[in-house]
Amino acid sequence: YSKYPLDSGKKEIRLLRLLPGDKDDPLECILECHPLDGQCPVYNPISYVWGTTSQKLPLRCNRDTQLDISPNLHDALKEYREQLRLVIKHNHGRAIDLVWADAICINQADLTERKQQVMLMREIYSRGNLTWIWLGKGDEQTEGSITLLKKIPYVMIRRARMGDTRSYFEFSQAERKELGLPDSIFSTTFQNLASLLGAEWFSRVWVVQELVLSRHAMINCGSHQILWQDFATAVDH
């Protein structure tokens, strides 16, 4: 971190530029300093749980330095890089290779810097393009849960346009089946959904603040993702 000092007078932050790589390639990045008040490039803040700190995995930084990071953050960065690769490959959407992750972009051993950066947290999230939420690697049940969460908002909006303002749980079993939704809250799909909602991220103290400050947010679980707005609509119904 001594090679990349922050100028507190300019409200600088560090950003992590992920270098391209295939799914199983080692993680590599470039650490950069940028002033929040100036021409700060477009970046995505990553919201995640630190997880276990007893085990560390390597992140090669600026070609000549190795940072040791938690397995959960390592998984998040690898998935982010993979999504970035697919965006570039298929020319689908905007490829943003700059991210902000507190465990890397803040020198955790420097108490003064930590205090200064925490005071900038509001701006870091509000100026970010999209808050990239990481729930974890997920499992075979994740796909069904995310698919259900994506489907419910569109079903409810379509029904509302037809004048039907009932909530999902007011539909009969036959209606749920007709709409292609689980016909019982005791179905395996709903049990898997309950497991997804039990992810440790939802118990984080800073979750509400990060979401309120963010322009947009995307939930990621493994390779599956859903916009926060759609997620909130689905859960609300």
pTM of the model: 0.86
- How is residue 123 written in tokens? 């701006």
* From 11-20, 65-74, 201-210, the region with the lowest mean pLDDT: 201-210
Structural domain spans, the chain: 8-129, 142-236
Res. 152 pLDDT band, cuts 50 70 90 = confident
Question: What is the structure's pLDDT at 186?
Answer: 55
Average pLDDT over every residue of 36-43? 88
Of 199 and 79, which is predicted with more confidence? 79
Cβ–Cβ < 8 Å for 202, 228: no
> pLDDT tens digits for 159-212?
667 777 676 667 777 777 766 666 666 567 677 777 888 889 988 888 888 888
Query: Average pLDDT of the chain?
Result: 86
Question: What is the structure's pLDDT at 156?
Answer: 67
Of 117 and 230, which is predicted with more confidence? 117
Question: What is the structure's pLDDT at 106?
Answer: 96
pLDDT at 237 over 70: no
Question: What is the structure's pLDDT at 163?
Answer: 77
Q: Kindly report the number of other CB atoms within 10 A of residue 140's CB atom.
A: 8
- How is residue 50 written in tokens? 């630190």
